[in-house]
Amino acid sequence: MSPDIKTRPARPNTANNVYTAMLALAFGVVLATAIFVAFKCYSQYGSLFSLK
Amino acid sequence: MSTLTKSFIILLTISTLFLCGYVVQYVSSVSNYKAEFEKNQRELTARQSEIDNLNENLKDERNKRIQLEDSKNNQIAALDKKIKELQTEIDNLKLQNAGLSNTVDSWKITDQQLINLSDNIKDMYKTAFAELNKTKAELASERTKLDETSNTLIDKEALIDMLEKDVKQLTEEKTALENKLNDVLRPYGTKAAAQKSLTPQSTLAELATADTTKIGLKGLVSSVDMKNSMAQISIGSSDGVKKAMRFHVSRGSEYICDIVITDVASEVAVGMLELVQRQPRTGDSVSTNW
């Protein structure tokens, strides 16, 4: 016999969204930092990885 | 989701935030090394060009300094030569100065002598001035005497004029008497001699004795005319022959005759033969005195 699905209530999953948002924030911060560093390198040295 | 996963997510987020913040801060505060390198490179190039310019300027300055040293050396040599010449001139001037000092000393002595002489002249002037005053007084008295003497002299001059007239008259009479005496003495071959005054001028006149001198004419017989008893002689009026003169004719020491002159020319004279002892011939000697 199959369990009765109607007897179990749905569990809230808001905690998972919070940690996902934290991961997204961390990723966004890393990305913004990489973009900022790349911009600085290009503007000051003319290239990203070598000096002209 | 397990608790470990949650903890890892939280730590990862926090560490990411700190690390990214540090990276952003570092990148923002780090210097632009390329710009600084380019700036330093430009400054280095500028400094290098300045060094080159300074080296060129240094070379130019060295050349100029060498030329200036040469010119200065030449000037120094010329100045040394000039200094030697000036030293020589100074020596000469010192010698001249010594000579001039001696001259000045002699002039000082001369000046002192002149001062003494001036004093003497002043004394002499004072003496002469006193003598002059004395002489003026004497001159005034002498002038008075002179006026008196002048008046006396005027009287004497009038007397002398009278005496001179008498002397002139007597002289004319004397000349007439001498002419008459010569006319008398001429046939005898003599004439009146000049009379010496025996009387001093300040005393009265005295009589003088008459005296004669020989005429002394000599010549030759130039021609003889026995028919008319006349002869011509070789001297005439230019030699002093006058009419009535008597010439004695001789031949050696022998007396021949006399010739009394009757006519006289300038170079010859003609006369009558008298006291003929022998016949006269041309060439016989004639003379006024025997």
Domain stop point among B150, B177, B201: B150
Q: What is the largest CA-CA distance in chain B?
A: 232
Q: Are residues B53 and B142 in the same domain?
A: yes
Please tell me the pTM assigned to this model. Answer: 0.32
3-state SS class at B162: helix
Domain stop point among B124, B150, B176: B150
In this predicted model, what pLDDT tens digit does every residue of B237-253 receive, in sequence order? 898 888 888 889 998 88
- For residue B10, being part of any structural domain is answered with no
Q: If residue B136 lies in a helix (H) or strand (E), which one and from where to where?
A: helix B33-185
The mean pLDDT of B219-243, rounded to a whole number, is: 90
Q: Alpha-carbon distance B40 to B35, whole Å?
A: 8
In this predicted model, what pLDDT tens digit does every residue of A2-46 receive, in sequence order? 444 455 555 555 556 888 999 999 999 999 999 999 999 998 888
Say how many domains are in chain B: 2
CA distances from B98 to B84, B92, B103, B233 (A): 21, 10, 9, 95
Task: Fill in the DSSP letter of residue B237.
Answer: G
User: CB-CB: which of B13, B24, B34 is closest to A44?
Assistant: B34
- For residue B91, being part of any structural domain is answered with yes
Contact between chains at A44 and B6 (C-beta distance less than 8 A): no
Question: Regarding predicted confidence, which is higher, A17 or B50?
Answer: B50
Q: Are residues B222 and B146 in the same domain?
A: no
Domain of residue B221, CATH code:
2.40.10.340
Q: Are residues B144 and B220 in the same domain?
A: no
Q: Are the C-beta atoms of residues B185 and B192 closer than 8 Å to each other?
A: yes
Residues spanned by the domain of A27: 19-52
Say how many domains are in chain A: 1
- For residue B210, being part of any structural domain is answered with no
Mean pLDDT of all residues belonging to chain B: 89
**Interface contact B32, partner A, CB < 8 A:** yes
- For residue B138, being part of any structural domain is answered with yes
Residues spanned by the domain of B255: 215-290
User: CB-CB: which of B1, B20, B35 is closest to A19?
Assistant: B1
The mean pLDDT of B64-80, rounded to a whole number, is: 94
Q: Are the C-beta atoms of residues B236 and B269 closer than 8 Å to each other?
A: yes
Per-residue model confidence (pLDDT) at position B31: 85
User: CB-CB: which of A29, A40, A51 is closest to B17?
Assistant: A29
Q: Are residues B143 and B222 in the same domain?
A: no
Contacts of B1 in chain A (CB under 8 A): 15-16, 19
For residue A39, what is the nearest residue in chain B, using CA coordinates? B27
